[in-house]
Amino acid sequence: METRHIDIKVEVASSLDELETADRELVMRAQKAASRAYAPYSQFNVGACLLLENGEMIEGNNQENASYPCGCCAERTALNYARSKFPGTAVETIAIAAFNSDGQMNTPIPPCGICRQALLECEADSGRPIRVIMNGKSLTNIVHSVADLLPLSFDKKNLNE
């Protein structure tokens, strides 16, 4: 049996000043979107902002529910809106940020597993990588493809082979 290694490249910024202007704007919009989250159960307010290939920026935040599983993450709130308003339009970048009652989370906020899967479908459909900017108060991580966050993933190719 052979052993294979999967490497991913992560860029790490210790200040938003290190980001490109367009990326910084996405992060700031994600932070703002978090302030409009509906998260009375977790008190964990997440915001996301997508940049589409047509230049549109789409914001979303987490929407919780008394029936907990009914809630939706910020990333999928934004992604589903983008895909319903602009079907077939590639997503270039998503930025994510989160806050609790003490303020912004220190560490970069990664998308959960379900959101990774949802983003992967979009990435596979467009054939273009989606950059993921995970913003935290003290660090920001950037990966250049959702596939990097979901190695050995399941997608529609597995259904049809």
Q: Which of positions 8-37 make contact with ligand THU (CB under 6 A)?
A: none
Site for ligand THU contains 146 (CB under 6 A): no
Per the annotation, the verdict on 11 as an active-site residue is no
Binding to ligand THU by CB under 6 A, coded x per residue (else -) over 70-99, reads -x-xxx------------------------
Structure tokens at 44: 């964990």
Neighbouring residues of 78: CB distance < 8 A, sequence distance ≥ 6? 33, 48, 49, 50, 58, 59, 60, 94
Site for ligand THU contains 105 (CB under 6 A): no
Site for ligand THU contains 42 (CB under 6 A): yes
Site for ligand THU contains 145 (CB under 6 A): no
* Number of other residues whose CB lies within 10 A of the CB of residue 115: 25
Amino acid symbol at 42: S
User: Looking at 115, 122, 143, 149, which residue binds ligand THU (CB under 6 A)?
Assistant: 115
User: Looking at 25, 28, 32, 44, which residue binds ligand THU (CB under 6 A)?
Assistant: 44
Cα–Cα dist 62/75, whole Å = 8
**Beta partners for residue 60, in sequence order:** 48
Site for ligand THU contains 57 (CB under 6 A): no
Helix (H, G, I), strand (E, B) or coil at 141: strand
Nearest to 137 by CA among 97, 110, 101, 100: 97
Name which of 111 and 147 has its Cβ closer to ligand THU: 111
Residues acting as catalytic residues? 75
For binding to ligand THU (CB under 6 A), which residues are involved? 39, 42, 44, 46, 62, 64, 71, 73-75, 111-112, 115
